[in-house]
Structure 1
Amino acid sequence: MSLDRQTRQAMQLQRQGDLEQANQAWQRILHSHPNHVPALANLASLQARSGHPKRAIKLFRRALKIEPQAPEIWFNLGNLMSQAGDRLEAERSYRKALKLNKDFAPAWNNLGALLRELKRTEDAAKCFHKAIELVPGLVRAHCAYADLMLEQGNLPEALKHFTLARESDPTEPLAYLGLGNVLAENRQYPDAIEAFKGGLALRPGDARFLAPLAELFVLTGQEIHAHTAWQSLLEHNPDSAEAHLNLGRLLYRMRSGSQDVNLAVQHLRRAVKLKPGDLEPRCQLGFTLAELGELGEAGAIARQLLSQYKDSALAYMLEGYIAVQQARIAEGLDAYRKACAIAPQDIDAIGNLCFSSLYADFMSAAEVTELHHEMSGRFSGLATGCTIAERQSRQGRIRVGYLSPDFRAHPVGYFMEPILANHDRHAFEIFAYANVARLDETGQTLAGYCDHFRMCAGLDDETLLNTMREDRLDVLVDLAGYTSNNRVSVVARRGAPVQAIYLGYPGTTGLEQVDFCLGDKALMPEGSESLYSEQAVRLESPFLCFQAQPGTPDVAPLPAAHNGFITFGSCNNYAKVSDRCVQTWARLLDAVPGSRLIIKAQVLADPHTCDLAMQRFTGHGIDAGRIDMRGPTTPLTRFLGTYADIDIALDTLPYCGGTTSCDALWMGVPVVSLAGEHFYQRMGASILSAIHREAWCAGSEDEYIEIAARLAGDLDALARVRANLRAEMRSSPLCDGAGLARELERAYRMMIEDKQ
């Protein structure tokens, strides 16, 4: 058989994909014609495709010794040298190919890619341009150049060339991937989603498209679609730690029951198992377990992380969160300060430090205010310069926006319902910005009371601010402050010309961009102005309105009547049970012989935390048999049933209860509170004043004990209080939603006038 015929036969086998037969055919040719360049080059290509790059390089070099003027062979050698990491030899090979054929577009493109790896970006860009000039439809060159432009922040140029790449070849996945990345970077989220979907249609199950698509769905508040995307990624790649981590995080955010919670934890544990050395999966698992009250395991994770990552703000925040939940406030604040030192602009670290300082019985009210001033200073320079001019030039309803992560089954959601239901919709246009993953039944009810209800979970600050600006708000009322899932960075950038803090955060924000703090006369007495960076607005009505939730049980008989002893109780967040609070309660138990104390909190389901809590009381000489530690119960009807076992509710100090005090009173249980100087120390005073029970509010620990002991000493009087308290409360200003709505509307008008 002639050499030409053998060559044609080998080429045909290679084109048909019969690589083994083609390999043998080229070998036969070389056996008889060892200097046959096409055989050497093609055999080299087959060796490279078969995973034998060293053999391929050797064959290409043999071919070039025979035929050094072959640009294709220099090009292929350059590709192999680049893959092998020998960049200098790769560059030499590409340049040799281009010297022999200056119009060799793929060589210009691959040289550009190599130069980009070598950080010679200007030369790389010239190479890509040359490739495109030679072959305008060369998709790889368009994509490579566009990707370089994206890296350099030149979004218009990147968008142009990724678009050209897609137009040149609508079946090229890289074009869709790059286009999606550019559009996402440019905050054109709907278009970016469509681009990634286009790539996914070409490459089903490809993580390069599914992962950013899921993230964009979260960013645009489409959590259900994000859930589907992460699940799809796991179906194609069950060992994707990224997918397990994000799906676990998402499931926990979207949780509607214990099944979602358990599944979230399973995914997070799987992510940790797949990436045992990574910080983020372990931190996320730790935070999730801590929020579920499983502080023992969460604490072990925190200690492990801090032994490995001594400069991790996230690890310190986990340690701080656990310490605060166990009422180890000084340790928690210390951990949060370390986190803030490592990450000075981290909003979560700043917020956790500020919020947790409210629990500190070793800090004065002035010191807490000073801390808020200090930390809020880190947001300086973010204001956008909104002014009142827009309001002056526009007629019509006053536009009020409420911003909250708690438009859901949450105390803030419950307290907002009577306000939203009673707003004068002829005079006020109501906007709600709900930083929630999905609407529950409460959220749906609240949405029905608003003119505009915007889901903003996942939206970045700039997008949310643009939404607020387009809504042309007159007043923005932040209902979160530094509590969980807040958007304080949006408030700091000023979403409205008039901004106020209200309801969800019991005190000052320290932010110069927040103009007013809404409270009442009992919360913010005359002379307390120095404790607020905001101007105090004192409502004539109580600062909140209580309304009972459906299914609330009836008031139970006085437990002391059949127990033969008084039972004090607290259902507050355990972090509020400060050392000063424990000491005061221990003194009260000594003052009322035979009395018992129920403490109910989510974290007390954790055995280790429960032991620590008990030690705090036994350390004051209180017998453990007199303390009844109880974990959480759901639903609300079962939780409220706890008050059937409590004769007198004890408010925490210095940080008072709000919702828990209202719940106790509604269940016929008197609440003893201690009034301090600041907002968070006076919520009990406000609530008791609203129902005309100021006599239950003390000015000192001694008086607190005297009031509680006096109530405990008259069971007949306690029984009468229990029988009548709900009716008294129902007819009091504390349950007047219409009155509170009118007061807030008066305040909003005043605030606008004041800013003018």
Structure 2
Amino acid sequence: MENTSSHLPPTSLDIGNQFQQAVSHHQAGRHSEAAEIYREILQVQPRHPDVNHNMGVLQVQQNQAAAALPYFMVALGADPSRGQFWLSYIDALIRTNQVQDAKETLALTRKQGLEGKSLDDLAARLQLLEQQATQQSATTVQMNKETPVSALNTASPSLQEPSIEHLDTLSALLSHGQIDKAENLARAMTVRFPNHWAGWKMLGVVFSRKGQNEQALFPMQRAAQLLPNDAEAHNNLGITLQSLEKTKAAETSYRRALQLNENYAEANNNLGSLLQKKGELKASESCYRRALKINPRYVKALKNMAVLLGETGRIDEAKSSYETILTINPDDVEALTELGTLQQKAGRLEESEVLHRRVLQIDPNLGAAHFNLGNVLFSSGKLKEAHEQMQIAVQLKPDFAEAHCELGSICQKLCQNDLAVTHFTRALQINPELAEANSNLGMLLYDAKMHTDAEIFYRRALRTKPEHALIHNNLGVLLHDLGKLEEAEAHFRTAIKLNPDYAGAYSNLIFSLCQDITSDESTMAEIYHRFDERFVINADRQTLTNSKIGDRHLHIGFVSGDLRNHAVASFIEPLLAALSKFPDLTLHAYHNNVIEDEVSRRLKQYFAHWHAVSFLSDPALAEKISNEHIDILIDLSGHSAKNRLLTFAKRPAPIQMSWLGCPISTGMSAMDYFLADHYMLPVGKMEEQFIEKIIRLPAHAPFLPVQDAPSVNPLPALTNGHLTFGSFNRASKINQPVIARWSKLLRALPDARMLLGGVPVNSTVMLTEWFASENIDKGRLEFYPHTNTHDYLSLHHKVDFALDTFPYNGATVALNAVHMGVPTLTVAGDTTVGRLGSAIMQHLGLNEFVAHDESDFIAKGKDWHNNLEKLAGVRANMRNRFSHSAIADTGGIAAALVQACRIAWQCWCTDGTQASIDVSDTQS
């Protein structure tokens, strides 16, 4: 059984003891301890005269004379006979330069018979203060003019409460914004009529309007005590308590106000606001709805309701609330701004732009409005206009860190990286904890291959915002590139947990898992299922109007972020050149990248229509593709960077295919076909890994070698006297099991060496340690960083043959090596990405470089070590082999693809059934 203790209210004896203890602390200079006990007593006896007086004295001793005044007023109200209370009150008035109030109060004190040296000293101080004020004033003050306070003090002593004239005067001062005069009169009322509600209530209102909520608390509490049945007094007290984060007490006050008047719209709204902050959204919404039922044009409640609806994902209802506000006040800047933000989030960028421009018509000097408009323009791809608006924002508000950060992002998109760094740095000078600026600077450094510095900024951003999904994703991408897959995947999973609709994090996780040796089919199947369920199965589909005529002209669209200087271009460029010659096809490009370079300009000539779509939302892009009546839409990214798989989820075309970028299944029920070849995806093998039907081409894709590549050199082992193995794969493909396999071959051939190219500087230590754990001395290793294409290809002059990675083989690097005369020793895996290397070697007729398992891998490596002359012959004849392979038969692959498209189209036009298609025998 649990022991519990009850809490009884303290007795007067307890309070006496507490008070003496507080006084001891106070006299000993332990002010914080004294204040704590004084406050505890005031919780029980808020009008305790001595405690209030001592709290006031404490505030004065801490140079907080203004804060002392309410305490002295309460003390006087509780016991106006105590001369010291009057002295302390007048002293505080003098300290706060409230000369007239001090003078009138001193006169009132003398009328009540208080005299003595202390009062004379105060009078002398007051006289000196008056003289100084007179000397400094440019005009003469008419001292004989009666003020509201003097009028009150000279009123009949028999008056028991403020007159109507006094109350009207106080209301007029408040309504005309004469806050200081209203404060003086309200204070005087609390002294003259300490048991009347008017002075206390108005004094609380005055303090609230001045933002002095701590000072407002006691007057509000006193007013509520004096007006126990006044709903407004309890509501006002609730507002003050809530501002001081005294949530429980504030809620009690609001509910008391509503007990007194259930039709009190403001109290319903205030209670709703408090409950919303507590996370009690359903109860909060009920309060707002009651407030709006009472007053449908209550703007504050409409705004609060709109915020709540937005937080709960009811965007259309939230927009409706803001639209209602704008019918009441078309110039409500807050409503225009929030509605503009909601429209932007919904992808309605034109509507959002109109709203933010309307804000600027109302107030052209509002920096935040320029920032918001710049944001929308940025999202719309209007980079120059966005840049202009952000520039205005920082000109109007030079310390606007968020605007500098966004300006940096715009500059980055405009390829003005130096300016981007300047703005990110400026943002961090203003606010070193701005997570977005740290993250964006990290992205810039990542793009510049400065991985160490990038990681520092990403981690700094996460320290500030540990629940920022985008930053977790970006750090995951960096760690993935460094080969730290386990840690990278943890960040991708965290990003997904924080934002379950973050499709990019899903794609990055899938892309990483297919390179992770610890991943298996069940892991992949589970994440595929989650992706399809989240983004595809219930996606809003486009209404297709394509005519079902089997032999008609076809419109084929290609969607990619890599139609530029990128590995994908090496495969797609020769194919597009061939496809563009088919008269019954029209080719459309949907380029999902702001970067367009010389390669992009070359590719454009093969398309009838080129669309830059990186700034289009997925719904907008799907609608565009559907409106252009694309018959067959081909994804060239898979789950790699800059994919638009969520556009495919909306099925904007009758037939959808995935190819090249990430050669694994998309896992999407909306994707119809996956393009491969017999070596990469043999019939009857691994098909269960795909939700798509398989189209088998003569080769997975054609390949365009670098045109000005260095010539092939003789086999270096013939002059070196030892073999040099090589790898030019990215670090993410090189894991410890890969190093272990390579090391077995290196141990079997003690004189052999290993060259690794394209390795990030901060991966070399990790790789060296992995080799060391396999007893491979670092003296046998050579590391080369990323470099230009010519120097990268020239490194092949040092390599006799390459060693493949697993579970994700090299493809582009293997084909570049082929063109440089370097074959790749590989193991045929049990996934498509694990058979890329073997497929290339088999297409070239180099089966002797394709191992069945690890022991066979070691055996084949030793065989080639013992047969260098044959290896030299392979090297010398490699380019000829390639030119006669299916990979070089661009025309054959293009004809096969067209044939496959026609077969798929005929199926759709008839009964819509789909089956795998084999066109691997098609020749040019």
TM range (shorter): 0.7 to 0.9
The answer to whether residue 554 in structure 2 is matched with residue 381 in structure 1 is no
Q: Which amino acid aligns with 1:223?
A: L
Q: Which amino acid aligns with 2:819?
A: W
Q: Which amino acid aligns with 2:587?
A: I
CA RMSD of aligned residues (A): 4.6
Cα distance in 1 between the residues matched to 2:825 and 2:414: 35
DSSP-derived class of the 1:418 partner: helix
The answer to whether residue 147 in structure 2 is matched with residue 30 in structure 1 is yes
- Kept after mapping to 1: 8 A contact 2:632/2:654: yes
Indicate the residue corresponding to 1:724 in structure 2: 877
DSSP-derived class of the 2:833 partner: helix
The answer to whether residue 564 in structure 2 is matched with residue 408 in structure 1 is yes
Superposition deviation, residue 548 in structure 1? 3.0
Cα distance, 1:78–1:749 mapped onto 2, change above 3 Å: farther
Indicate the residue corresponding to 2:245 in structure 1: none
Cα distance, 1:48–1:23 mapped onto 2, change above 3 Å: farther
Q: Which amino acid aligns with 1:452?
A: H
Cα distance, 1:421–1:228 mapped onto 2, change above 3 Å: farther
Cα distance, 1:124–1:738 mapped onto 2, change above 3 Å: farther
Cα distance in 2 between the residues matched to 1:46 and 1:27: 24
- Kept after mapping to 1: 8 A contact 2:536/2:646: no
Indicate the residue corresponding to 1:698 in structure 2: 851
Identity across aligned pairs (percent)?
24
Indicate the residue corresponding to 1:645 in structure 2: 798
Indicate the residue corresponding to 2:257 in structure 1: none
Superposition deviation, residue 669 in structure 1? 2.0
DSSP-derived class of the 2:682 partner: coil
Indicate the residue corresponding to 2:700 in structure 1: 543
Indicate the residue corresponding to 1:230 in structure 2: 390
Mapping 1:492-507, distance limit 5 Å: 492-507=649-664
2:710 to 545, 553, 557: 553
Indicate the residue corresponding to 1:590 in structure 2: 747
Q: Which amino acid aligns with 1:214?
A: G
Cα distance, 1:306–1:141 mapped onto 2, change above 3 Å: closer
1:527-557 C-alpha deviation (Å, 9 max, x unpaired): 2244433344343321112113454333345
1:629 to 779, 783, 786: 783
- Kept after mapping to 1: 8 A contact 2:686/2:831: no
Superposition deviation, residue 679 in structure 1? 0.8
Cα distance, 1:387–1:300 mapped onto 2, change above 3 Å: same
Most deviating of 20-29 and 413-422? 20-29
Mapping 1:78-117, distance limit 5 Å: 80=209, 92=232
Cα distance, 1:642–1:165 mapped onto 2, change above 3 Å: farther
The answer to whether residue 771 in structure 2 is matched with residue 614 in structure 1 is no
- Greater RCO, 1 or 2 (C-alpha within 8 Å, sep 6+): 1
Cα distance in 1 between the residues matched to 2:480 and 2:414: 24
1:437-478 C-alpha deviation (Å, 9 max, x unpaired): 342332333334223333222433222222233233322222
- Kept after mapping to 2: 8 A contact 1:492/1:513: yes
Indicate the residue corresponding to 1:676 in structure 2: 829
Indicate the residue corresponding to 1:3 in structure 2: none
The answer to whether residue 646 in structure 2 is matched with residue 489 in structure 1 is yes
The answer to whether residue 371 in structure 2 is matched with residue 211 in structure 1 is yes
The answer to whether residue 573 in structure 2 is matched with residue 417 in structure 1 is yes
Cα distance in 2 between the residues matched to 1:429 and 1:384: 27
Q: Which amino acid aligns with 2:390?
A: W
- Kept after mapping to 1: 8 A contact 2:716/2:798: yes
1:164-189 C-alpha deviation (Å, 9 max, x unpaired): 855xx7xx756754664465466442
Superposition deviation, residue 121 in structure 1? 3.0
Superposition deviation, residue 573 in structure 1? 0.9
1:455 to 586, 607, 612: 612
Indicate the residue corresponding to 1:162 in structure 2: 326
Cα distance in 2 between the residues matched to 1:206 and 1:509: 46
TM-score by length of 2: 0.65
The answer to whether residue 502 in structure 2 is matched with residue 346 in structure 1 is yes
Superposition deviation, residue 523 in structure 1? 0.8
Cα distance in 2 between the residues matched to 1:57 and 1:116: 31
Cα distance in 1 between the residues matched to 2:338 and 2:491: 41
DSSP-derived class of the 2:741 partner: helix
Cα distance in 1 between the residues matched to 2:547 and 2:189: 76
Superposition deviation, residue 194 in structure 1? 3.7
- Runs of at least 5 residues in structure 2 that lack an aligned partner in the other structure: 1-136, 153-164, 225-229, 237-263, 275-283, 913-924
Cα distance in 2 between the residues matched to 1:160 and 1:429: 48
Cα distance in 1 between the residues matched to 2:144 and 2:816: 88
- Kept after mapping to 2: 8 A contact 1:311/1:342: yes
1:569-628 C-alpha deviation (Å, 9 max, x unpaired): 11111111122221121122233342221112242x22xx21111011111111111111
- Kept after mapping to 2: 8 A contact 1:507/1:679: yes
1:691-739 C-alpha deviation (Å, 9 max, x unpaired): 3333322222233334344444444444444443234323433233333
Q: Which amino acid aligns with 2:209?
A: L
Cα distance, 1:181–1:348 mapped onto 2, change above 3 Å: closer
Cα distance, 1:93–1:387 mapped onto 2, change above 3 Å: closer
Q: Which amino acid aligns with 1:647?
A: D
Q: Which amino acid aligns with 1:517?
A: F
The answer to whether residue 261 in structure 2 is matched with residue 121 in structure 1 is no
DSSP-derived class of the 2:657 partner: strand
1:630-681 C-alpha deviation (Å, 9 max, x unpaired): 21113x2333232233232222122111111111112222222221121101
Indicate the residue corresponding to 1:101 in structure 2: none
Q: Which amino acid aligns with 2:368?
A: R
Indicate the residue corresponding to 1:136 in structure 2: none
Cα distance, 1:298–1:439 mapped onto 2, change above 3 Å: closer
Cα distance in 1 between the residues matched to 2:182 and 2:758: 65
Indicate the residue corresponding to 1:17 in structure 2: none
DSSP-derived class of the 1:445 partner: helix
Superposition deviation, residue 345 in structure 1? 4.1
- Kept after mapping to 2: 8 A contact 1:430/1:452: yes
1:23-78 C-alpha deviation (Å, 9 max, x unpaired): 9799956389847889867765786689x99569769999x99xx99xxx99x979
Q: Which amino acid aligns with 2:645?
A: V
The answer to whether residue 442 in structure 2 is matched with residue 325 in structure 1 is no
Cα distance in 2 between the residues matched to 1:621 and 1:415: 39
2:684 to 521, 527, 549: 527
Cα distance in 2 between the residues matched to 1:248 and 1:58: 53
Cα distance in 1 between the residues matched to 2:296 and 2:140: 37
Cα distance in 2 between the residues matched to 1:526 and 1:26: 106
- Kept after mapping to 2: 8 A contact 1:268/1:284: yes
1:377-436 C-alpha deviation (Å, 9 max, x unpaired): 443532445688744269842232222222222112332222223225532232322221
Cα distance in 1 between the residues matched to 2:324 and 2:351: 14
The answer to whether residue 396 in structure 2 is matched with residue 240 in structure 1 is no
Q: Which amino acid aligns with 1:467?
A: K
Most deviating of 571-580 and 451-460? 451-460
Cα distance in 1 between the residues matched to 2:704 and 2:436: 41
Indicate the residue corresponding to 2:94 in structure 1: none
Cα distance, 1:54–1:736 mapped onto 2, change above 3 Å: farther
Most deviating of 84-93 and 664-673? 84-93
Cα distance, 1:420–1:236 mapped onto 2, change above 3 Å: farther
Most deviating of 443-452 and 573-582? 443-452
1:75-98 C-alpha deviation (Å, 9 max, x unpaired): x979938996989999949999xx
DSSP-derived class of the 1:436 partner: coil
DSSP-derived class of the 1:672 partner: strand
2:632 to 467, 475, 496: 475
Cα distance, 1:630–1:387 mapped onto 2, change above 3 Å: same
